[in-house]
Amino acid sequence: MQSGLGAALRKLRERRTLSIRELGRLADIDHAYIYRLEQGEKTNPSPELIATSLSPLKANPRDAAMVKWLVEHSDAWEDLVEYCLDDPNVTVEEFSMAAGVRHRGTARPTPSVLIERVRRALSAGNE
């Protein structure tokens, strides 16, 4: 099962149109390890390894901050991770709050609904 961290790394790698082998070569990281991270088989990379992999991915500061947050919270919902990486208007704070929401039962709001709820909660807190 893929992790939120794996989804983020795959999304950023595909955005740069790099294969896993190309990223491994550019970051000087074993491509098999990158594959395992993306697949969720490995979930606790070192901060140094993440920093090394973010450089060839050319992640902007917001996306890099999300990936670094995911190192400690790799179980984040993959759909939410991908949605937030695709929408540059979602802040790291909104993302981390939405990713921390726990749902009862099997029903889960869509990522866009979840982000909207977080934004409403943040604006209500500022009033």
Which of 115, 28, 24, 11 is CA-nearest to residue 3? 11
In CATH, what number is assigned to the domain containing residue 71?
1.10.260.40
| Range(s) of the domain holding residue 50 | 4-125
Q: Digits of tens for pLDDT over the chain (127 positions)?
A: 678 999 999 999 999 999 999 999 999 999 999 999 999 898 889 989 999 999 999 999 999 999 999 999 888 999 999 999 999 999 999 999 999 887 676 778 999 999 999 999 998 866 6
118 near 94, Cβ under 8 Å? yes
Question: What does the alpha-carbon distance between residue 26 and residue 39 come to, in Å, rounded to a whole number?
Answer: 20
User: Structure pTM?
Assistant: 0.89
Domain total for the chain?
A: 1
**Helix/strand/coil (H/E/C) assignment for every residue in 21-52:** HHHHHHHCCCHHHHHHHHHCCCCCCCHHHHHH
